Amino acid sequence: MGIVYPVEKGIAPESDAGVFSLLSYDPSRLDLSRGVVEALGSGLHFEDGDLALRCNFATVRDGRIVDRRAGRNLSTDEARELVEAINGSRKIKELSKFELKATIGHRCSLVFRGGKFSGAISNLDPGYARKGKMTVAKSVTLPAPIPTCEALTGSKIALRTAKLLNEFAACAHDVLKEHRTNLRRMERGDLPANFLLMRDAGTKIPRVRKLKDKYGLQSVAIADMPVELGIAKVIGMETVTFPPDRSLEAYSQRARKAMKLRRNHDLVYVHLKGPDEPGHDGDFNGKRKSIEDIDAGFFGELGSPEPTFVCVTADHSTPCSAKGHTDDPVPILLLGPGVSRDGSMRFTESYGRAGKLGTLKHGYEILSMITKRRR
């Protein structure tokens, strides 16, 4: 065991940067946009020159954001109803040609087409900020003012793009605030999903050396979230999509699929989302149960898969105390042929710090380290 900084010390990465890093790509060297990879992962058509953004349905009241995820209980069917209303709004259509798609729960993906756009704009979301080529998590206390999208350069295209997003957000709010779906939600005591937060703008697909070209690995990704599926497509991995089910049986199904796929793949990447969401909600007991379910459902089914080589780690930390991503290192565990015991008994930070691997400074070192061990 050991511990690893998913990107590097001092960086609280978003999931896209963390996953790219775990799969051997230094995100600081990429033209990285979560908006673009989510568009690809959600099946939206995207071409270089379009503008893509990751969106959240949120709740605003009296001009302030009171919940960034509309209570995190927006069903995908409800989100689709709200998206249909936005896509059908004549007033919003007059702003630009666009396509908004509901993905999972409060999440959606947005692509603007048919114009000149810039990705050099700030996030219209207080939870994340642009830092160089990446977006990093920010600590935010709610309620918080609705941010304004700003151009990050003085170019006319960036200024026009920022103006477009501010107008789009205002028009979408007008559509959503009296929508029948939100009226039903308020009647039953739920928060309305009456605002659309937008972040991680991008105008081109990241150009990277494919994973097979780097390491000669036939690889496949098992995931349920659009960002991981989009990243897999960018780096040339096959994909297997599961529904966003966090039950014991769902974890067992993923384990069985992984063991089947290993027969004709050199690398099987399995992304398990479960503990992240209660971490964002500050739900300690919920996060503990999620970890226990993964332990029982996924690893209980996986068993001791000799001679398979196994690496277990995380793409970022989400402490309940912070209710968001932090720059803390995460545990890493290696198991399989050629790996000696180091006394580690539990998958925890404390055992990781005492493990033989020590501290890895960058997540993007992991795959190189593993492939060297396997040669």
**Across the strands, what pairs with 179?**
none
Counting the structural domains of the chain, the total is: 2
Is 32 among the domain residues?
no
Q: 374 falls in which pLDDT band (50, 70, 90)? A: low
Q: 372 falls in which pLDDT band (50, 70, 90)? A: confident
Is 366 among the domain residues?
yes
Q: Of 175, 202, 229, which closes a domain?
A: 202
- Tell whether 174 and 236 lie within a shared domain: no
Is 244 among the domain residues?
yes
* Token output for 90: 């004549």
Is 33 among the domain residues?
no
Is 287 among the domain residues?
yes
Kind of pairing, strands 219-223 and 238-241? parallel
The answer to whether 39 touches 230, Cβ cutoff 8 Å, is yes
The answer to whether 238 touches 261, Cβ cutoff 8 Å, is no
- State the pLDDT at residue 305: 62
Q: Dihedral sign for Cα 262, 263, 267, 268, please.
A: negative
Residue 353 has pLDDT above 80, yes or no: yes
* Token output for 42: 């959600």
- Tell whether 45 and 189 lie within a shared domain: yes
- Tell whether 222 and 183 lie within a shared domain: no
Q: Of 144, 173, 202, which closes a domain?
A: 202
pLDDT per residue as tens digits for the range 278-320: 999 999 999 999 999 999 999 999 876 667 889 999 999 999 9
Arithmetic mean of pLDDT, 195-201: 97
- Tell whether 250 and 190 lie within a shared domain: no
pTM for the model stands at 0.92
Is 277 among the domain residues?
yes
Kind of pairing, strands 358-360 and 2-4? parallel
- Tell whether 66 and 198 lie within a shared domain: yes
The answer to whether 23 touches 95, Cβ cutoff 8 Å, is no
Q: Cis ω on the peptide bond leading into residue 307 (within 30° of 0)?
A: yes
- Tell whether 99 and 166 lie within a shared domain: yes
- State the pLDDT at residue 265: 96
Residue at token pair 């936005």 = 86
Q: Of 177, 202, 227, which closes a domain?
A: 202
- State the pLDDT at residue 99: 97
Q: Angle at the Cα of 366 (from 12 to 9), degrees rounded to 5?
A: 25
- Tell whether 222 and 321 lie within a shared domain: yes
Task: State the burial class of residue 274 (Cβ atoms within 10 Å of its Cβ: 0-12, 13-18, 19+).
Answer: buried
- State the pLDDT at residue 375: 60
pLDDT per residue as tens digits for the range 78-117: 999 999 999 999 999 999 999 999 999 999 999 999 999 9
Range of the domain at 71: 40-202
Arithmetic mean of pLDDT, 65-72: 96
Number of other residues whose CB lies within 10 A of the CB of residue 304: 9
Residue at token pair 């998590």 = 137
- Tell whether 78 and 114 lie within a shared domain: yes
- Tell whether 230 and 131 lie within a shared domain: no
Give the whole-angstrom CA distance, residue 18 versus residue 25.
Answer: 9
Helical ranges in 188-244 per DSSP H:
211-215, 226-234
Q: 34 by DSSP, 3-state: which?
A: helix
How many H-runs (helices) and E-runs (strands) does the chain carry?
14, 15
- CATH number where 222 lies: 3.40.720.10
- State the pLDDT at residue 37: 96
Is 259 among the domain residues?
yes
**What percent of the chain shows pLDDT beyond 90?**
88
- Closest of 89, 86, 91 to residue 102, by C-alpha: 86
Helical ranges in the chain per DSSP H:
15-22, 34-41, 76-87, 90-93, 156-176, 180-187, 211-215, 226-234, 248-261, 276-281, 284-294, 300-302, 349-354, 366-374
How many Cα atoms sit within 13 Å of 352 on the Cβ side? 19
- Tell whether 130 and 155 lie within a shared domain: yes
- Tell whether 353 and 224 lie within a shared domain: yes
Give the whole-angstrom CA distance, residue 205 versus residue 295.
Answer: 36
- Tell whether 218 and 367 lie within a shared domain: yes
Q: What is the DSSP letter of 144?
A: E
